[in-house]
Structure 1
Amino acid sequence: MAELATIARPYAEALFKAVGAGTAQTWLDALAQVGTNSEVIQFASDPKANRAQVFQVISSVLPEALPERGANFLRTIIENDRLSALGEIAQQYRELSNDQLGVADAMVESAFPLEASALADLKPMLEARFKRRLNLQVGVVPDLIGGIRVVVGDEVYDTSIQAQLEQMKMALTA
C-alpha cells in the first residue's frame, strides 16, 4: 500500500537520524508486532481509551522495556494515530540501516530445516553470488522438495527441485 509507505517514511527517516543504523531495530520490530495486533488496534481506536492508557497497554506487552527514545517514539506514534504504520516504519528503518551498513536481508527457503553449520558454509557463497553482505533468515517450504531458494530484494537464486521440475515442464511443453 503506497499510502502507508508514504505515511511511514518520515517516521522511519526521523528515527534513523535520531538513533542511527540498527540500534532501534529490536525494539522497533517488537513495537511493529504489537502494533499489528487486532486487539491492540481495537483498544487504541476506542474513544474511551486515552493516549496514556494506550501507551501503557502497548508498553506492558513488550518483551523488554523501551529505552527512552523508544518510549518517546511510541508516544509520538500514538499521538499522531499511526499505530497501523508501525510495521512499515520498521521495514523502512531496516532498509535505511542496511543501506548504510552495506548489508541486505536474505530469505533462504529450504524443503528441510538447515543446520547452523550448513548455513555458515552457505553464507560466503551467497554473499559472493549477490556481491554484498547478507543477513540470512531461514524458512522451511516443503513444496521445494529439495535444494534452496534465496530471495534478496527482487533477486532470486533458485536451485530447488521444484524449480528444476518447472523448467523441465516448460521445455517439454514448448
Structure 2
Amino acid sequence: MAESVTIARPYAEAAFKLARESNTLVQWSRMLALLELVVSDEQVTRCTGDPNVSGQQLESLVLGVCGQQLDGAGRNLVQVLVDNDRLVVVPEMRVLFEDLKREHEGLLEAQITSAFALDDEQKIRLVRRLETKYQRKVSAQVSVDPQLIGGVKIVVGDKVLDATVRGKLDAMAAALTH
C-alpha cells in the first residue's frame, strides 16, 4: 500500500495542479471517482493482470466504460496510466487528490464516533468546537459504536481525541500492567 501511494502521489499532484489551474476541481473529483469504480471492477482488474490483454485494449476498455464522462485531460490521464502500467493506483490517486482538494479549500475531515446516536444540535456543537479549535471549516462523518460504552472519539487527520469510557478503561488497564 505504501508503495502504491508513493507511485500515485505524482499523478495525483499533477491532476490536482491541472484541475486547480483550470478551475475544474469538482469535475476532476467526479472523473477520478468514476475511474476508481471502473478500475476496481472485477473484470477490469482481471484484464490489468492479463498478459494477453494489450495496453491499447485495456485503454479502450476503460475509456469505453467511462464514455463521455471523461474530458480530454481525463482521457489523457487514462492513456498515461495504462502506458506506464499504473492503472491500479487510481484508488490511491483519488484519495490523495481529495486530500489536496480539501487542503486547498481549507476543509478538514473529522470522523466522530459516539457510543450513542447524536442529535443534530450535538453534531453542530461538536463541529463548531472543532472549527474553532482548528480555525478551519470541518466536515464531519458521524457514526455510532456502542462498544465505546459512553462518550465520543474524534479523529481529525492524524490527531485522535478519545473521550470515551472504553478509551479510559483501556488506558487504566495499560497503566496497571506497566
TM-score grouping bracket, smaller chain normalisation: 0.7 to 0.9
Aligned to 1:77: 81
For structure 2, list consecutive stretches of 5 or more residues without a partner in the other structure: none
Identity over aligned residues, as a percent? 35
Q: How do 1:52-91 and structure 2 match up within 5 A?
A: 52-58=56-62, 65-91=69-95
Cα distance per residue 1:86-109 (max 9 Å; x no partner): 122112212222222222222222
CA distance in 2, matches of 1:57, 1:114: 45
Task: Indicate if the aligned counterparts of 1:59 and 1:65 stay in contact, CA closer than 8 A.
Answer: no
| Aligned with residue 151 of structure 2, among 144, 147, 150 | 147
For structure 1, list consecutive stretches of 5 or more residues without a partner in the other structure: none
| Aligned with residue 108 of structure 1, among 92, 109, 112 | 112
Helix, strand or coil for the counterpart of 1:31?
helix
Aligned to 1:6: 6
Aligned to 1:30: 34
Task: Indicate if the aligned counterparts of 1:25 and 1:94 stay in contact, CA closer than 8 A.
Answer: yes
Shift of 1:68: 3.5
Aligned to 2:140: 136
Shift of 1:124: 0.7
Helix, strand or coil for the counterpart of 1:139?
strand
Greater helix share, structure number = 2
Shift of 1:57: 4.2
Task: Give the aligned length.
Answer: 174
CA distance in 2, matches of 1:161, 1:61: 49
The amino acid of 1:121's aligned partner reads: R
What is the alpha-carbon root mean square deviation over aligned residues? 3.0
CA distance in 2, matches of 1:131, 1:143: 31
Q: Which runs of 4+ in 1 moved over 4 A?
A: 59-62, 112-117, 170-174
